[in-house]
Amino acid sequence: MKGTKWFALAAVAAIVAGALALTGCGSSTPAADTTPAKKAELSGSLTIAGSDTMINLAQAWSEKFMIDNPGVSVAVKGGGSGTGIAALINGTVDFADASRAIEPAEAASIKSKGGEAVTTVVGNDGIAIIVNSANKVEALTRDQLGRIYRGEIKNWKEVGGDDKPITLVSRDPSSGTYTFLKEKVVGKDKNYATSAKLLPSTQAIVDEVKSDKNAIGYIGLGYESASVKVVAIDGVKASVATVTDGSYLLSRPLNMISNGAPKAIAKAYVDWILSAAGQKIVKDQGFVPVTK
pLDDT lower than 50: segments of the chain: 1-30, 36-37
- Position 41 scores a pLDDT of 87
**What contacts 147, CB < 8 A, 6 or more positions away?**
153
Residues 234 and 261 in one domain: no
5 domain residue, yes or no: no
Residues 54 and 129 in one domain: no
1 domain residue, yes or no: no
Residues 82 and 112 in one domain: yes
Residues 129 and 221 in one domain: yes
Residues 71 and 183 in one domain: no
Residues 271 and 246 in one domain: no
3-state secondary structure of 95: strand
Rounded Cα distance, 74 and 246, in Å: 33
Residues 199 and 257 in one domain: no
Backbone angles phi, psi at 259, to 5 degrees: -90, 95
Q: What secondary structure letter does DSSP report for 157?
A: G
Total domains in the chain come to: 2
CA atoms within 13 Å, Cβ hemisphere of 106: 23
Residues 85 and 227 in one domain: no
Rounded Cα distance, 82 and 195, in Å: 23
136 domain residue, yes or no: yes
The amino acid sitting at 89 is: I
Q: What is the CATH number of the domain that holds 225?
A: 3.40.190.10
Residues 135 and 213 in one domain: yes
pLDDT tens-digit profile of 121-177?
A: 999 999 999 999 999 999 999 999 999 999 999 999 999 999 999 999 999 999 999
Residues 263 and 221 in one domain: no
Range of the domain at 188: 125-251
Q: pTM to 2 decimals? A: 0.82
pLDDT tens-digit profile of 262-285?
A: 999 999 999 999 999 999 999 999
Residues 213 and 105 in one domain: no
- Position 168 scores a pLDDT of 98
180 domain residue, yes or no: yes
23 domain residue, yes or no: no
291 domain residue, yes or no: no
